[in-house]
Amino acid sequence: MTTMLDEIIAVKREEVAARSALRSLDQLDTAAREQSAPRGFRAALEAHAGYALIAEIKKASPSKGLIRADFTPADHARAYQAGGAACLSVLTDERFFQGADAYLQTARGACDLPVLRKDFTIDPWQVAEARAIGADAILVIVSALDNGVMQEIEAAAIERGMDVLVEVHDAVELERALTLQSRLIGVNNRNLKDFSVDFARTYELVGSAPADCTFVAESGLSTRADLDAMAAHGVRCFLIGEALMRQDDVAAATRALIG
């Protein structure tokens, strides 16, 4: 059975092939040198007092459709920073999430927070592209890659001074993630096959991981009670987008959630 992730990755392969034919790695690295130095993403999470939030700038998703019609990345970035977020995540996938590279560039330019490029990274070329548009960190989804490609992508990120958020869904994927140097582990509470949410998957994985891992709970989080439940199991970093993007006053909602 073909999953939504399978469909997204198939389209992403076509997209990367087309885009990489237009810009070489050297051209991207030249563009990257014009960017300010990477802002430490994991360092910002670990240094943040209390709950450390990766606040997501997200216009739409395949499962929920349009999330926010009045979508202004610069305003959202400033609101998240004012609300106390530690980092940003910006969707750049165009086909499925109505994202854009320009959204990341605009958001990063409007605040002082480190920014994750939230996209489907399947090739080291995309890492160079991410740095060229100003990203400070990239996402690696373990279920979408084999170990060799994961390691190549991570090496490309480390070479460029970027952090890697490694996303897993279960114990098998966590074991694979731990073959990487990166110890910033995102646990997606959402089942990508049926889009159901189960916080227990985060609880289970945190309890079985090495002490040097920093865990980020992802998907389905919307209330302070959700965060408190995660904290009771040792998780204090969270990636939240939809629940905040739907609010009229994003800064106030962010402050109320993590303050």
pLDDT of residue 96: 97
| Total number of domains constituting the chain | 1
Q: Please write the tens of the pLDDT for every residue from 226-243.
A: 999 999 999 999 999 999
Report the CATH number at residue 13: 3.20.20.70
Q: Please write the tens of the pLDDT for every residue from 134-154.
A: 999 999 999 999 999 999 999
Q: Please write the tens of the pLDDT for every residue from 51-97.
A: 999 999 999 999 889 999 999 999 999 999 999 999 999 999 999 99
pLDDT of residue 4: 86
- Answer yes or no: is pLDDT of 47 > 90: yes
| Long-range contacts of residues 167-173, Cβ cutoff 8 Å, at least 24 apart | 167/139, 167/140, 167/141, 167/142, 167/218, 168/142, 168/143, 168/205, 169/142, 169/143, 169/201, 170/201, 170/205, 171/204, 171/205, 171/208, 173/142, 173/143
Q: 129-133, 200-204, 221-225, 241-245: lowest mean pLDDT where?
A: 200-204
CA distance 29 to 98: 26
Task: Provide mean pLDDT across the span 158-177.
Answer: 98
CA distance 53 to 227: 10
Q: What percent of the chain has pLDDT over 90?
A: 92
Domain region containing 166: 4-258
Which of 133, 116, 126, 165 minimizes the C-alpha distance to 36?
A: 133
Going by the DSSP 8-state scheme, the letter that residue 113 receives in this structure is S
pLDDT of residue 197: 87
